[in-house]
């Protein structure tokens, strides 16, 4: 079970873990609230989640390439 938890928290996108670090909440409670919000609002937080995943990946890419050219973005 710990192996699955590690995979979910570190290897997947990590949006809930990153929000937990910033807001000083545990990542598991943020995931739980995200699931509840998804059920109550018929899945609309999934769009927000996907936007955050995209934004985090772009920021990570830009930080790795300090001076990216137009073709690397």
Domain tally, the chain: 1
Of 52 and 8, more confident: 52
Whether residue 22 lies inside any domain: the answer is yes
Whether residue 51 lies inside any domain: the answer is yes
Reference 16, options 46, 42, 39, 44; nearest CA is: 46
pTM tops 0.85, yes or no: no
Which structural domain range is residue 8 located in?
A: 2-64
Whether residue 70 lies inside any domain: the answer is no
Which tens digits make up the pLDDT trace of 2-44? 777 666 666 567 788 888 888 898 888 888 888 888 888 887 8
Whether residue 71 lies inside any domain: the answer is no
Q: How far apart are CA 18 and CA 45, in angstroms?
A: 16
Of 41 and 66, more confident: 41
Whether residue 59 lies inside any domain: the answer is yes
């Amino acid at each position: 079970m710990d192996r699955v938890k590690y995979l979910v928290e570190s290897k997947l996108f990590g949006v809930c873990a990153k929000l937990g670090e910033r807001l000083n909440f545990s990542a598991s409670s943020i995931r739980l609230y995200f699931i509840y919000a998804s059920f109550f609002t018929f899945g609309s937080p999934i769009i927000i989640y996907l936007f955050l995943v995209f934004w985090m990946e772009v920021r990570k890419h830009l930080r790795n390439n300090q001076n990216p050219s137009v073709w690397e973005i």
